[in-house]
Amino acid sequence: MRLRLDDPSLRERTGLGVTVAVLDSGVHADHPHVGGVQGGISLALDDDSHDLLDRIGHGTAVAAAIREKSPATSLLVVKIFHRQLATNADVLARAIRWAADNGAKIINLSLGTANAAHIERLAEAVVHAANCGAVVVSAREANGVPCYPGALPNVVGVVADDSIDRNEIETRVEGSGLIVRASPFPRPIPNVPRERNLSGVSFAVANTSGFLARATEHANGDVVAALRALD
């Protein structure tokens, strides 16, 4: 199934009333492509400041990609990286749980681990999120290698596909999970060729979360109903 931003169910939607948690390196809330955040928490292991500021830039770029697709969505920042893009499974599981407990309907994880030893811990967090009425959106694979939690049941697993237009996604159901193919490119930068901009599965995940926020608004805030409509 292909879904476009100009489809009737999404065209007039902006993600209003939908909270998306960005589990990443923090967010520069005042960045013009972000335009503010709802709040959040820092769970980063090496963060003595315990603030939400992004010192890497990755989380801000991810948040901006979500905002581009769903400009009225509320962003909840869960900082799990501080000076480098590295964390552990305990922090990741705790971040998923915290986001679900604090009102997120969509939990954006523009990352994943290939270490199967962490499956059980992450699966428990995913189930907790589902019980709270939230869904985790995460990278399903990297270079053909399964990533977790994106490859787990009940997760929206995202695959980067540069043949997909930035204003559409392609969905299919496999088992109890939804698999989405999405563009790996964020919003374009004026006078910068696409291939010189940032790109990768991180932004495919963010683009998917933006689409899903619009679909959730269309489903009156019910992300589960929104996912069923994408089956």
Q: What count of residues does the chain have?
A: 231
C-alpha to C-alpha distance for 214 and 206, rounded to whole angstroms: 13
| Contact (CB, 8 A) for 203 and 65 | yes
SS3 assignment, position 57: coil
Per-residue pLDDT at 36 exceeds 90:
yes
Omega before residue 149 within 30° of 0, cis? yes
Looking at the chain, the whole-number percentage of residues with pLDDT higher than 70 is 95
Confidence grade of residue 192 (pLDDT, cut at 50, 70, 90): low
Going from N- to C-terminal start, the domains of the chain cover 2-229
Superfamily name and number for 2-229: Peptidase S8/S53 domain (3.40.50.200)
Tokens of 120: 């059980």
Which residues, 6+ apart, have CB-to-CB distance to 203 below 8 Å? 61, 62, 65, 110, 160, 183, 184, 185, 186
Q: Which pLDDT belongs to residue 194? A: 65
pLDDT digits (tens, 9 = 90+) for 57-111: 999 999 999 999 999 999 999 999 887 777 888 999 999 999 999 999 999 998 8
Whether pTM exceeds 0.85: yes
Residue 57: which region, alpha, beta or left (left: phi > 0; alpha: psi -120 to 50)?
left
> Which stretches of 65-190 are assigned E, i.e. beta strand?
74-79, 106-109, 135-139, 141-142, 145-146, 155-160, 168-174, 177-182
Q: Which pLDDT belongs to residue 174? A: 80
